[in-house]
Chains A and B, each alone.
Chain A
Amino acid sequence: MDRIIATAEALWRMMRRIAEILLLLHWFNLLSVEGTRYSLPGKPTLTRCRSPEKETFTCWWEPSFDGGLSTTYALYYCKENSDTVHECPDYHTAGVNSCFFNKNNTSIWVNYNITVVATNALGSTFSDPVEIDVVYIVMPHPPENVGVTVLEDKGWPFLRLSWEPPHKVDTRSGWITLIYELRVKLEEETEWEMHLAGQQKMFNIFSLRSGGTYLVQVRCKPDHGFWSEWSSTTSIKVPDYFQRERSVWVMIMVSSAFIFLIITWLIHINSHSLKHYILPPVPGPKIKGFDKQFMKDGKSEGFFCDLVSIHFPATTTPNDEDLLVEYLEVCVPEEQELKMEDKGEDGCPKSESSTSDCDSGRGSCDSQTLLIDKCFKRVAPGLDIECSQTGTGANEIQDSPDVSSGRVKTWPSVYSPLSQHPVDLMHSLDKSKQHCLSDTLFPSDSSCPYHSHPDHSTNDNPDSTYWKFCFNNKQRLLLRPQMETQWQPHAYSEVNISATVRSSDYVEAHNISDENTVVLHSVSSSHDDREGTGYKYQGEDYSHVQRVGSDNVLMLQRGLMKEPVDTGFCKNQQANRAAGTSDTSPITRNQKPTVCNETTLSVNGPAANGYVDTATMFIKPTQD
């Protein structure tokens, strides 16, 4: 029985154990089941501890999951070298999950060891301990009273920032030394411009953008500690100072425009000189041998003789007396005029003037510079001057070269273009109004003003046809045999003008030597059958040159000439006058000092055709 009872008790104990175990297991199950919803709280963590002024400090922690149950947190700390555990004196001042240490509990001499414990129904969880040295966790509040003003520095604005340390920080006694930092940016920008201000509480910012709005912030930091938070943003608008710049630009523009106008005006005034300076005028062409001065001297006639064959208008100068004897003018005026001219006792000039009505080229030959004290004979077409008795008829022209009868030897070159046909020559002569002794006739450069080719134009104006012979005093006398030979061919080659001319007795002044010698050339007046000669000489008024005296005396012969010599030939007149007396009358050289100056005539004796051949005259001074 005892064994049965013992066994029963053992079984009963075992069952109780099993029941307890089961109960425990059940409880554990319960616990485990509830562990999904309830558990120990998570491990909190101390996030940070900060002291704003090195006299107090605050610690904050971060709770973890609470495990489904209400969890309480506690902060415990102990000071260095002390075993006393203290609990946080103030959980509320600094907010949730924080612990505030007041001044009495704060010591800068010792370190703090702080732990946060999370506790719920199931248990507690401890955080990691944190070592704290109050001096090194100082993080002040942001600076206060940040003020910004816009000031001007010589017209340019700048920002002046000023601030104050946080009021809790004792910087006056030096308990804490703060350094400041500020940042600036324009309102529309994204990046800040940082500036370190040191311990000063004022700062200047230059180089502002006019009209922009700037944002400013300041923060501070103790010697050992953390930077404070940025202060609240202070904004300021910079006034527009660009207008001041613009006024300067306006002034510059106005003054430059003014200066530009002045320069333009100056250039306009001096445009010509500038033009010449910049673009110098192209000099005219220079032709060798073209003497401008020669042109200016009025000897253009000779020049043009070379170049052009021009019909020069008659330009008779009133001062004919001063005119030279150099040129002969053969005019074919009206008989009445001739008569009147004959009556004129004046020298050549008058006759010239009388015949000035003729459309002759006389005027062109008139040149004061050609004034020579040479007498010349003016041969009018209607006037026959028989210079010499020996003047033969025109037919005898070709007797000898010397016999210039029928020939106008003095101007061979003149008639060079003329055909040798006497008739043609005559025609040409008639046509030609002016004939000048070309330079070729004489070796020296003659200053024959012009040389007119006898034109073959049918300018039949018998009345006014004339020819003018011009030569200058430079022309060598044709008296020289050499010269004679030179131009002799010319003479021959040329038309025997004189042949036709000789129909009327003319005395033609061939040449005026430089010795004031006039070489006269008598033209016979026996040719009446000339046609179109233009010579309408009325041989009555001519006088033959009988001979030439040795003293430059021209001996005219009255006789053949019915009419006295045209007044154009002063010598003739003189001779007429002289001859009027009886025979010859000496004509001194000086009788007509102007035009009808001395003439040394060499009368060609044999040339009884009535004209004086200069050559023959020369050679045979006095044949008669």
Chain B
Amino acid sequence: LHMRQSVWALVLWPSLLTASTMLGCRDDGSFSRSTSISQEKLLERVIHHAELIYRVSEESCTLFEEMFIPFPMHLQTNQAAYTCITKTLPIPSSRSEIQQISDKWLLHSVLMLVQSWIEPLINLQTTLDRYDNAPEMLINKTKWVSEKLISLEQGVMVLIKKMLEEGMLTTDYNDEDVFQHGAQPEMMDSVMRDYNLLSCFTKDAHKMEAFLKLLKYRQTDKYNCA
């Protein structure tokens, strides 16, 4: 029997081989690292991503403002009718703080911003669909922004991982519960609420872009100096 089994096993050896090769991805991991996207490229793409998000969000906000908000109620760049939802996030807010923060924390801040805005934007999408005369362009833009935001999140996470692999410290930022949505102040008007949302998001998107660019400049300096 033992011989038979061995013989049959011998006969059936090709199928074994076939099964073993199924694990090629893992093997690929050995040589895929050499072919992974470099950090510089990744950072470039992330920055580009953030730029686009900011541009489109600004366009959306302007569009919404023109459509639904009377002129006297327009918000200026620096002011907000209501506090933004991300105010409670531990992100640097002043120039001096930004200069002190490390690269990792810079990136972490960006990630926090991104992650905190994904869900509100999805909700905004739903809200805008309820509008009667919301222009299609506005809806498309907001939709686009939310999609890209999710993509940005992935990119930032990859970037962090890459930076961690290169010897960066890691923290438990996967805990999305850190982000506190904060108490939403009661909005008098849904329109104003949405408008506030969009404007806040536009500002945060600009922050993301700024952080990332700053990170890029730091990286290039580091590489150039090295």
Contacts and interface: CB of A to CB of B under 8 A. Distances in A.
Interface of A: 17, 20, 24, 27, 40, 76-78, 80-85, 103, 107-111, 113, 115, 117, 119, 122-124, 126, 129, 131, 133, 135, 170, 173-175
Contact of B24 (A76, A108, A131, A133): A76
Identify the interface centre among A80, A84, A119, A170: most chain B CB within 10 Å of its CB: A80
Given A113-B28, A124-B21, 7 more contacts: A84-B25, A108-B151, A110-B37, A115-B24, A122-B14, A123-B14, A126-B21
A29 to B, nearest CB: 13
Contact of A174 (B29, B37, B52, B147): B52
A81 B52 CA distance: 27
A12 to B, nearest CB: 15
Interface in B148-187: 151, 154-155, 158-159, 161
Nearest to B10: A24
A123 B37 contact: no
B32 interface: yes
A27 B11 CA distance: 9
A83 B24 contact: no
Contacts of B144: 170, 173
A78 B28 CA distance: 9
Given A111-B37, A122-B14, A129 B28 contact: yes
B154 A109 contact: yes
B25 A110 contact: no
B26 interface: yes
Interface of B: 3-4, 7, 11, 14-15, 17-18, 21-26, 28-29, 32-33, 35-37, 42, 45-46, 51-52, 55-56, 144, 147, 151, 154-155, 158-159, 161
A119 B22 CA distance: 12
18 contacts: A17-B3, A76-B22, A78-B25, A81-B29, A81-B32, A82-B29, A83-B29, A84-B25, A85-B24, A109-B158, A110-B36, A110-B158, A111-B36, A113-B28, A115-B25, A117-B21, A117-B22, A131-B32
A126 B151 contact: no
Given A109-B42, A122-B14, A80 B37 contact: yes
A83 B32 contact: no
Contacts of B37: 80, 109-111, 133
Given A24-B11, A173-B55, A173-B56, A111 B24 contact: no
Contacts of B11: 24, 27
B45 A135 contact: yes
Most buried by A among B7, B21, B25, B26: B25
Contact of A80 (B18, B36, B45, B147): B36
Nearest to B158: A109
Contact of A123 (B15, B29, B147): B15
Nearest to B25: A78
Nearest to B53: A173
Contacts of A110: 36-37, 158
Contacts of A27: 11
B46 to A, nearest CB: 8
Given A109-B158, A123-B14, A135-B45, A85 B36 contact: no
Nearest to B152: A109
Closest 7 pairs between A and B when the two form their complex, measured CB to CB: A78-B25, A109-B158, A85-B25, A124-B18, A109-B155, A113-B28, A131-B35
Given A85-B25, A108-B151, A175-B52, A113 B18 contact: no
A172 to B, nearest CB: 9
B158 to A, nearest CB: 4
A530 B3 CA distance: 194
Nearest to A131: B35
Nearest to B44: A135
Contacts of A111: 32, 35-37
Contacts of A24: 7, 11
A131 B34 CA distance: 11
A90 B11 CA distance: 35
Contacts of B151: 107-109
Which of B23, B33, B45, B151 lies at the interface centre, i.e. has the most chain A CB atoms within 10 A of its CB? B151
Contacts of B29: 78, 81-83
A135 B151 CA distance: 14
